[in-house]
Structure 1
Amino acid sequence: MKPKYFLTGASLLLALTLQAQKKDRKANDAEVSNYIPSNLFSPAFHTEKGNEFHAVNGEPGPKYWQNRADYLLKANIDTATKTLSATENITYTNNSPDNLQYLWLQLDQNTYKKDARSNFVTGNEPKAADHTTGYQLESVSIMQSGKTEIANYVITDTRMQIRLPRALTAKGGKISLLIKYHYTIPGAFGARTDYTDTKNGKIYEIAQWFPRMCVYDDSQGWDTLPFLGSGEFYCEYGDIDYSVTVPWDMIVAGSGELVNPTEVLTAKQVARYNAAKNSDKTIMIRSAEEVTQASSRPVNKGTLTWHFKMYNTRDVAFGASKAFIWDAARINLPGGKKSLSMSVYPVESAGNDAWGRSTEYLKGAIEHFSAKWFTYPYPCAVNEAGIAAGMEYPGILFDGITDKTKDLFWVTAHEIGHNWFPMIVGSNERRFAWMDEGFNTFIDVYASDVFNKGEYAPKRDGEYAPGGGNPADEIVPIISDPEAPVIMTAPDAISEKYRHPMTYFKPAFGLILLREQILGKDRFDYAFKNYISKWAYKHPRPDDFFRSMENGAGEDLSWFWRGWYYNNYSLDLALTKARYVKDSPAYGIEVTVVNKEPMAMPFTVEVKLKNGGRQRMYLPVETWLQNKVTTFTINTTGAAESVTIDPDNALPDLNRKNNTLKVD
């Protein structure tokens, strides 16, 4: 019997030992961490020193330069053949320190050709019929040093190189490019530029309609990335004078100021147009009833030429249709300045639950962005209803013809917001889409909060949280997806599945974290406004933004740029202990928090007291400089029920189930 009793005792001892080990492992598991402080807080994030062109504080350096492109355009739309034909005179100024032996231009219409490179990007493959022949160049000449000669040029996909007989001299050399061309306007497949039918006639949305200079800058030299779709635009600034000739019964609404209203409007319409410039209420310039009335046009045959001018801009676009209702109202800007908010749309889009409030929405968004960030610089802004359904150009938006209520407000605020990013702050969309889409999506949040006392607030879904919930929770599966690209990925290399999350959502939410959790509103706003002001009408790089925010806010944010922009580091803060010191509320509560994943964040801890009160404590990101685990004491004022980290669910925490403990 003795061996039996011995085995039983041994088994019991083994069981107790295993149970104790299991308990110890369970305790230790709570503190298991993938966080390595030295990875996140490693020095030398900025691999390049500042220089005389891009200063160390993120501002343009004392010798910053950029080239300039001024355009004189005269276009005609043939509605029978759906053809746009034009002449173009580009005056290009070389302010760089380099003599330029050749020039590069963008030919975006070539993206619709059957052999265009964009056809071979996954997700962009067009249908067999969805093509045009692209730009048809009738003549290309150069005028240099008073001499005009036929240009020697080569076209490669959506780019054209002009090989000069004599180099364009540095530091102020000028050349004129004279181009005559035409192209077939793409139909609905055009996406950003197209035409579509309505009850009272076709709507033409005309964009990317003239050869534009590629940018020559101090970062890339000639930036000649082809137009593939997702990577949008990078353009030089200059003045654009353009005229559009269309059939007599069509209305044209375009970027910039209409300089000949008395030639293309009736006397009654001119009076309404002028009245709208001084009215906070929307004034109808051409009503729904007048759309089908010949008397709503100053002539009843032939053509009319609409003449527009826009200064210090990187592009222009326009809409044209005989179906347009047209209304407008004054925009009130800081310092007593004014602009004009206008909308054009067909009768199908009319009504106060739809486009009847478009001008009000546009006005409200511009007034907010101007007061909050930077004053809107252009004489007018146009919202045009069509099928491009959410596309932006300087001073004009192409929004959805069927949009209504909050959706129309949100898309209007978002698209006009692009006039700040990248139309004013001229970042390179073709390489860094997050610098326009992400920044603009960020400022949308606050426009929705204030418009008409929050009528369409909060905007925390759609452009932000694809699932419609808390953006801090919605971002978690995106960050933790091993297949997801990082923010810094080239836009054309991001698949459609990740385009919105990584180009719009994550960069925008990152700025919300910076403003509301890391820096605070005052420091963030000061630094962000300074960035906008210093880089208005210039070409910032990502490093300029990072340096601007760090210098303006007085904070080393390299850990944030590294974890959020260059990597998809996950965050999981786990509360592993919450107990009274010396078993008494009088001595406070000892709290232990483990950082379990590679990202770090400052965080808030909240104690829920038994008397219904709450206490909060904020811990900065320096908490994680050396440690994976931190233990601290909260000096409480009474008996407590529980402790919670990140009580507002503001951080992108991977597992909220480990964020609360009852107090022992």
Structure 2
Amino acid sequence: MKYLSKAVLALAFTGAFSFLSQAQEAVENNQQDFDEFMDRSGNPYRSASGVPGPDYWQNEADYEIKATLDDKAHTLSGEITLSYTNNSPDELPFIWLYLEQNRFTENSRGYLTTPIDGNRYNGDIDGGYEISNLEAKTGRSTSSKHLINDTRMQVWFDKPIKANGGTATVSMNFTYNIPVKGMDRMGRLDVEDGTIYAMAQWYPRTAVYDDIEGWNVEPYLGAGEFYLEYGDFDYEITAPWNHIVVGSGELVNERKVLSSKLRDRLDKARKSDETVTIIGEDEINDASLRAKQDGTLTWHFKMENSHDIAFASSKAYIWDAAKIDLPSGKDILAQSVYPKESAGNDAWGRSTEYSKQSIEHYSNKWYEFPWPVATNVAAEIGGMEYPGLNFCGWKSKGASLWGVTDHEFGHNWFPMIVGSNERRYAWMDEGFNTFINYYSTKDFGEYPASLNKTRNLTGWFKSETREGIDTYPDVTNLRNLGMTAYYKPGIGLLMLREYILGHERFDNAFKSYIKTWAFKHPQPKDFFNHMENVAGENLSWFFGNWFYGTGNIDLAIEGVKQNRDGKGFIITVANKGEVPMPVKMKITYQDESSEILTLPVEIWQRGDSWSHLVDTDKAPKSIEIDPDKILPDVDYSNDSWPAESFYQN
């Protein structure tokens, strides 16, 4: 240690006591805005770096289904065999399945929690499952014990499914009335040439057993969507001979259900960048194009590594298709089916073009589309997504049709590839998808992309009835759902990419998140941890305040004055809102030159006001916070400084 004289020591002690004397009055800071807002520590299942831990597991559900569509009685009947693999460390004496057609009964929780004046999630009440011949097997033991409660079914085994790879099978028969109004997710539509059947949530589906909740068994009410196990599907749909059936996955028996003429047209479409007509408007009722002229046909589909399937069936379809080019060099098929009422070059005649553009964009920018076919179906449904297949409004045209097609196909990335829990965290699929839709629409270039017009939404941000992103979708006021599930989280990612992290750091992290959690079940903390670790930034101040609160952004310029020595000038900025942000400013000088100055978010750890010296010989003409208008600043009247007041301060 260096030697200190007595005089120096005396001065040091005097200064120390002076400091201690002044410290009796604590100075407030904003550190609480920067502290961790939730427990994001790691464990053997989920690492603190936002990747699956060394002991991460998830169970698997493989399905074999044979179903028959009766277009006279409007019923669907079938038999299902579920092969379940228990990769968890726990023995399972039972499993839970979802019976979501039970939502369409007069005593369902979903119906009884629907307001008298209705909402988007109206549904028929003359449906519901009839289940028979249930058998649950583990090894040689068989059980038929089960319990149905609303939209859930608990199936018990005579002997538990063993942990760490034990298997079981569950088989049963089912039948139900197909609703006309299926909560804007599925149902029936009558058009001149027949009925369109849009079939979703159409078979008993396995609930997720995970390391967070155990069994995830929230009832199907309406706004909350889905959380399902991944597996392989082998399914057959028997329909009237004159129907065209499209479904998730790949049609594997084309020769049995399609005439040679239709097969030739499909082969042409698989090689074409332009849309090829498979069945034209004047051919809808041409029996010679069908594989047979009476009875029924059974359409056989397979899909690997998916958590769901949907299908559509009708004799009223126009059908067209084209090739999708994937970045790996692989070609897959885009196809659309729609009635003649939806036809036209300003309407569904462009659906396949839109589908191809959407899938190619997301595949090149984020992660390659993993399935062999992408299908767009016109139906009496505003817009609803299932793996590899959409239902979109049959009256949609132009920008509206592009928007809904692009949005529903975007859902193949969230939550079909990245399998988040939609029923709890709508923002992890709707918000993320809204974000990637913005760039897809910009890339397409024909229609406006508006997510960046954040200041158009400040009325909602200031509303006293606003709710947080973390509000469960089934609890959220439906007037707020569009913001809490879609726009606010989408804007959050937009701010991360365009304002906080920049394109390269954000893209590295976001692509890594998708790749890391593809076909797995991430939780919110996995997303937060992963983005921080790959981007190399502690973002607790942002994630906590934006995703888990109702606070707002309000940055302000409080003053600009000359420095005392006459060189340069001092800008004083303030954080008048609850969400701290870096302060990006455009300074324009009297000589019309300009520069961008960015003050880091850490200035707000010390308080709500900060002064910065701009060391320059130039005089400022104007200063503007957030010149690209990315932030939804709730009071942008204080975001700029006019030159007239400079020498008056």
TM-score by length of 1: 0.90
Corresponding residue SS for 2:424: coil
Given that residues 257 and 308 in structure 1 are in contact (C-alpha distance below 8 angstroms), is that contact kept between their aligned partners in structure 2? yes
CA distance in 2, matches of 1:290, 1:475: 47
Map of 1:41-120 to 2, 5 A cutoff?
Answer: 41-42=34-35, 44-120=36-112
Q: Deviations over 1:367-417 (max 9, x none)?
A: 110111100000000000011120000000000101111111111111001
Pairing 1:267–2:260 present? yes
Given that residues 322 and 333 in structure 2 are in contact (C-alpha distance below 8 angstroms), is that contact kept between their aligned partners in structure 1? yes
Partner of 1:449: 442
Map of 1:500-511 to 2, 5 A cutoff?
Answer: 500-511=482-493
C-alpha distance 125-193 of structure 1, shift in aligned 2 (>3 A)? farther
Corresponding residue SS for 2:191: coil
Partner of 1:603: 583
Corresponding residue SS for 1:315: coil
C-alpha distance 129-524 of structure 1, shift in aligned 2 (>3 A)? closer
Q: Name which of 598, 611, 616 aligns with 1:631.
A: 611
Kindly state the Cα deviation for residue 604 of structure 1 after the two structures are TM-superposed.
Answer: 1.4
CA distance in 1, matches of 2:49, 2:588: 43
User: Which shifted more, 538-547 or 180-189?
Assistant: 180-189
C-alpha distance 152-384 of structure 1, shift in aligned 2 (>3 A)? same
Corresponding residue SS for 1:191: coil
Q: Name which of 308, 320, 323 aligns with 1:327.
A: 320
Q: Given residue 50 of structure 1, which amino acid in structure 2 is its aligned partner? A: G
Partner of 1:549: 531
CA distance in 2, matches of 1:621, 1:548: 20
Corresponding residue SS for 1:183: strand
Q: Name which of 206, 212, 224 aligns with 1:219.
A: 212
Corresponding residue SS for 2:137: strand
Q: Given residue 314 of structure 2, which amino acid in structure 1 is its aligned partner? A: S
Pairing 1:138–2:120 present? no
Partner of 2:185: 192
Corresponding residue SS for 2:634: coil
CA distance in 2, matches of 1:424, 1:321: 28
User: Which shifted more, 640-649 or 83-92?
Assistant: 640-649
Aligned residues: 615
Partner of 1:436: 429
Q: Given residue 133 of structure 1, which amino acid in structure 2 is its aligned partner? A: G
Pairing 1:154–2:147 present? yes
C-alpha distance 637-84 of structure 1, shift in aligned 2 (>3 A)? farther
Partner of 1:179: 172
CA distance in 2, matches of 1:183, 1:151: 20
Given that residues 136 and 155 in structure 2 are in contact (C-alpha distance below 8 angstroms), is that contact kept between their aligned partners in structure 1? no
Q: Deviations over 1:182-240 (max 9, x none)?
A: 00000035421101111211111000000011111110101111011111000000000
Partner of 2:353: 360
CA distance in 2, matches of 1:397, 1:133: 23
Map of 1:492-503 to 2, 5 A cutoff?
Answer: 492-503=474-485
Kindly state the Cα deviation for residue 614 of structure 1 after the two structures are TM-superposed.
Answer: 2.2
Kindly state the Cα deviation for residue 292 of structure 1 after the two structures are TM-superposed.
Answer: 1.9
Q: Given residue 266 of structure 1, which amino acid in structure 2 is its aligned partner? A: S
Given that residues 194 and 206 in structure 1 are in contact (C-alpha distance below 8 angstroms), is that contact kept between their aligned partners in structure 2? yes
Q: Given residue 420 of structure 2, which amino acid in structure 1 is its aligned partner? A: S
CA distance in 2, matches of 1:250, 1:122: 35
Kindly state the Cα deviation for residue 276 of structure 1 after the two structures are TM-superposed.
Answer: 1.1
Q: Name which of 594, 610, 631 aligns with 1:651.
A: 631
Given that residues 196 and 312 in structure 2 are in contact (C-alpha distance below 8 angstroms), is that contact kept between their aligned partners in structure 1? yes
Corresponding residue SS for 1:197: strand
Q: Name which of 352, 359, 365 aligns with 1:372.
A: 365
Given that residues 487 and 507 in structure 1 are in contact (C-alpha distance below 8 angstroms), is that contact kept between their aligned partners in structure 2? yes
Partner of 1:384: 377
Q: Deviations over 1:33-53 (max 9, x none)?
A: xx96123113x4342520111
Kindly state the Cα deviation for residue 620 of structure 1 after the two structures are TM-superposed.
Answer: 1.4
Given that residues 475 and 506 in structure 1 are in contact (C-alpha distance below 8 angstroms), is that contact kept between their aligned partners in structure 2? no
Q: Given residue 170 of structure 1, which amino acid in structure 2 is its aligned partner? A: A
User: Which shifted more, 603-612 or 277-286?
Assistant: 603-612
Q: Name which of 502, 513, 517 aligns with 1:520.
A: 502
Kindly state the Cα deviation for residue 526 of structure 1 after the two structures are TM-superposed.
Answer: 0.3
Q: Given residue 606 of structure 1, which amino acid in structure 2 is its aligned partner? A: K
CA distance in 2, matches of 1:474, 1:167: 56
Partner of 2:21: none
CA distance in 1, matches of 2:133, 2:382: 34
Pairing 1:406–2:394 present? no
CA distance in 2, matches of 1:298, 1:476: 57
Kindly state the Cα deviation for residue 165 of structure 1 after the two structures are TM-superposed.
Answer: 1.4
Q: Unpaired runs of 5+ in structure 1?
A: 1-34, 465-469
CA distance in 2, matches of 1:231, 1:221: 19
Given that residues 284 and 315 in structure 2 are in contact (C-alpha distance below 8 angstroms), is that contact kept between their aligned partners in structure 1? yes
Q: Deviations over 1:66-107 (max 9, x none)?
A: 000000000001111100000000001111110011111100
C-alpha distance 493-305 of structure 1, shift in aligned 2 (>3 A)? same
Kindly state the Cα deviation for residue 578 of structure 1 after the two structures are TM-superposed.
Answer: 1.5
Q: Given residue 433 of structure 1, which amino acid in structure 2 is its aligned partner? A: A
Pairing 1:290–2:283 present? yes
Given that residues 193 and 205 in structure 1 are in contact (C-alpha distance below 8 angstroms), is that contact kept between their aligned partners in structure 2? yes
Corresponding residue SS for 2:328: helix
Q: Given residue 481 of structure 2, which amino acid in structure 1 is its aligned partner? A: R
CA distance in 1, matches of 2:42, 2:529: 9
Partner of 2:7: none
Pairing 1:620–2:600 present? yes
Kindly state the Cα deviation for residue 317 of structure 1 after the two structures are TM-superposed.
Answer: 0.3
Pairing 1:532–2:525 present? no
Partner of 2:23: none
Map of 1:22-41 to 2, 5 A cutoff?
Answer: 37-41=30-34
CA distance in 1, matches of 2:207, 2:116: 23
The share of aligned pairs that are identical, in percent, is 45
Corresponding residue SS for 2:284: helix
CA distance in 1, matches of 2:399, 2:626: 30
Q: Deviations over 1:409-463 (max 9, x none)?
A: 1111110011100000000001111100000010000001111xx1113x11xxx
TM-score by length of 2: 0.92
Given that residues 471 and 509 in structure 1 are in contact (C-alpha distance below 8 angstroms), is that contact kept between their aligned partners in structure 2? no
CA distance in 1, matches of 2:51, 2:494: 23
Pairing 1:491–2:483 present? no
Structure 1 moving runs of 4+ over 4 Å = 124-129
Given that residues 94 and 171 in structure 1 are in contact (C-alpha distance below 8 angstroms), is that contact kept between their aligned partners in structure 2? yes
Kindly state the Cα deviation for residue 572 of structure 1 after the two structures are TM-superposed.
Answer: 1.5
Q: Unpaired runs of 5+ in structure 2?
A: 1-27
CA distance in 2, matches of 1:180, 1:493: 34
Partner of 2:621: 641
CA distance in 2, matches of 1:661, 1:220: 52
Given that residues 316 and 338 in structure 2 are in contact (C-alpha distance below 8 angstroms), is that contact kept between their aligned partners in structure 1? yes
Partner of 1:338: 331
CA distance in 2, matches of 1:618, 1:55: 33
Q: Deviations over 1:471-524 (max 9, x none)?
A: 321343333333322111111110111111100000000000011111111000
Kindly state the Cα deviation for residue 637 of structure 1 after the two structures are TM-superposed.
Answer: 5.7
Given that residues 425 and 538 in structure 1 are in contact (C-alpha distance below 8 angstroms), is that contact kept between their aligned partners in structure 2? yes
Pairing 1:253–2:279 present? no
RMSD: 1.7
CA distance in 2, matches of 1:51, 1:617: 41
CA distance in 1, matches of 2:617, 2:514: 45
Kindly state the Cα deviation for residue 623 of structure 1 after the two structures are TM-superposed.
Answer: 1.7
